[in-house]
Chains A and B, each alone.
Chain A
Amino acid sequence: MDNSNLPSYLEYKGKYKGIFAWIFSTDHKRIGLLYLYSIMAMFLVAALLGLLMKTELIAPGKTIMEAKAYNAVFTLHGITMIFLVVVPGIPAILGNFFLPIMIGAKDVFYPRLNLLSWWLYIIGAIVAISSQFMGTGSPDTGWTFYAPYSFKTQSNILPALIGAFILGFSSILTGLNFIVTMHRMRAPGMKWLKMPLFPWTLYGTAWIQLLATPVVGITLLMVVAEKVLNIGFFDPTLGGDPILYQHLFWIYSHPAVYIMILPAMGVISEVIPTFAKKEIFGYNAIVLSTMLIAFVGYFVWGHHMFTAGMSETSLFAFSFLTFIVAIPSAIKIFNWLATLYKGSIMLRTPMYWAVSFLFVFMIGGLTGMVLGALATNVHLHDTAFVVAHFHFIVFGGLGFAFFAGIHYWFPKIFGRMYDEAWANTGWIIFFMGFLTLYFPMFLLGIQGMPRRYYDYVPEFHSTNIISSFGAFIMIAGLIVIIINLFRSAKKGEKAPKSPWGGKTLEWTIPSPPPLENFEEIPEIK
């Protein structure tokens, strides 16, 4: 099977020229790159907003912005990071690029729907961000849009809600596409239990995208209806129930955190065996725990509402279920560790990211247990502790896995190697900055510093200085990483077919792959 004579997907000439050859391309690889660039742009904007917040918090009182501006900044930061970066994140970029290749297919099942998803992403992004520039001021509700504040606020919340609604469709269609692709297009001989683990986690994710996203879509529309038509869903003065909003919101948004983390676990499950030069330990257990996480993840949303006012039965049930859902994640950790055990470990950049993922992900998960326990939650809810928890698990989990994946597959995507020394330098700076930034926030939370305020009492000052200092280090690391990748995509050494000796199908085709990946669909034995 030698198709190295075909032009690569980066070079071939189609119907359109120039930029149109990209934005109207239905090739899953080009769409993956479209997502890569658009999501990266969003990520950089939101990261800058984060840096602004940390600068504000470097000293008590007003430092660089007023309270109102701070509220707007954390809202835009949250909306952008959640809806525009981490929810599409790995499935849309790495999933689009590698899912078809890893199951031995020429493309996804619905290539045009795939392109439509990207367009919806762009339209949703524009609508959401337009809220900053039109009307009555930037939204200030936080990314959660909690009722009743979200329809009382004078700020321009409607475009943000409608933008998030449109983005939901992008996500649903990607999920649908992936499910059908995996059911219908696996190469002959690739039984379900022979499918690589990254596609498996995308499968679990796709079901969550398909089932949970409509709930938030409807909920956001209900807020719009309430605001525009005065229908009483959530406003007590109209006969509504504000707690209902929280239920509906978290019925989506807790499963959504698994939309974020499952594909990340998939990436790690590819990187670790490759660089330990061993088969993954307990393949079946990982598959099973993936599906269990996707399933049980639907039933724990109430842990975000422990202090909002619920019956004792509910409190008990949600706390119990929250502890249950940690089990499948722990199973995976043990599988990864067992894979490393007695492996012949190759310490290259993706592996550095993967092992540091294990470290930060464990801290994130274990502090989740602290929050899931009823008694401790009362003290820690809405403090900096929660912010530290989910940054460890979302940024630490998904972010680190993304960087592991982008370095791992970089040679395949661009056909060139990245500069290893710079990549490792970027990693260590980023990792140190990350810990310096977020670890102190656990302490601040335990001491009682609330989240979402631009000011704090003087007792918290010294810890905040450390944390803000960490933010600057981390951004410095990020700059090194991104410049290195950009430069290497243009100037790096030519990459061989399989630089790491990976076992999955993408390493059997040229780097970068030709338009339809395989000349002949491979048979799996």
Chain B
Amino acid sequence: MEDSEHKIVSFKTYGLVLIALIIFTLFSVYVTRLDLGNFSIAAALTIAGLKSILVFSIFMHLFYDKKMYALMVLGVLVVMTIVLIITFLDYGY
């Protein structure tokens, strides 16, 4: 079994990510006030998506780890996206 090196991420980086997450959260509350029609769900999901990218890549170290793991997570997201798209085919716009 190989020992993967652990990169130490600085405290400052974590702090910045935390601030970014808080800003995104405030922003997602803000967009609910706008009338975006059909796109309000898309907007909420996009913001949530950006937040999870931050969490995955920095907090969960995907950015620093082997590319294999990033690829596996990406695969999962692709499956989920297709499932969502197919589900929304059922809505007549």
Contacts and interface: CB of A to CB of B under 8 A. Distances in A.
B92 interface: yes
Contacts of B90: 247, 310-311, 313-314
Contacts of B91: 311
A304 to B, nearest CB: 14
Contact of A298 (B83, B89, B92): B83
Given A184-B1, A185-B1, A211-B76, A299 B83 contact: yes
A245 to B, nearest CB: 13
B86 A302 contact: yes
A311 B89 contact: yes
A251 interface: yes
A422 interface: no
A147 B79 CA distance: 26
B39 to A, nearest CB: 19
Contacts, number: 29
Interface string A45-65: 000000000000000000000
How many chain A residues sit at the interface, stated as a range, is: 10 to 19
Nearest to A247: B87
B82 interface: yes
A184 B91 CA distance: 44
Contact of B79 (A185, A295, A318): A295
Interface string A318-354: 1000000000000000000000000000000000000
Contacts of B87: 247, 251
A295 B79 CA distance: 8
* Chain B interface helix/strand/loop/mixed: helix
A317 interface: yes
Contacts of B83: 251, 298-299
Nearest to A302: B86
Interface in A197-241: 211
A6 B82 CA distance: 52
Contacts of B82: 298-299
A346 to B, nearest CB: 39
Nearest to A311: B90
Contacts of A318: 86
A315 B89 CA distance: 9
A313 B1 contact: no
A305 to B, nearest CB: 9
A317 B92 contact: no
28 contacts: A185-B1, A211-B76, A211-B79, A247-B87, A247-B90, A251-B83, A251-B87, A295-B79, A298-B79, A298-B82, A298-B83, A299-B82, A299-B83, A299-B86, A302-B86, A310-B90, A311-B89, A311-B90, A311-B91, A311-B92, A313-B89, A313-B90, A314-B86, A314-B89, A314-B90, A317-B86, A317-B89, A318-B86
Given A184-B1, A211-B79, A311-B92, 5 more contacts: A185-B1, A247-B87, A295-B79, A314-B90, A317-B86
Q: Which 6 A-B pairs have the closest CB atoms?
A: A314-B90, A314-B89, A313-B89, A311-B90, A310-B90, A298-B79
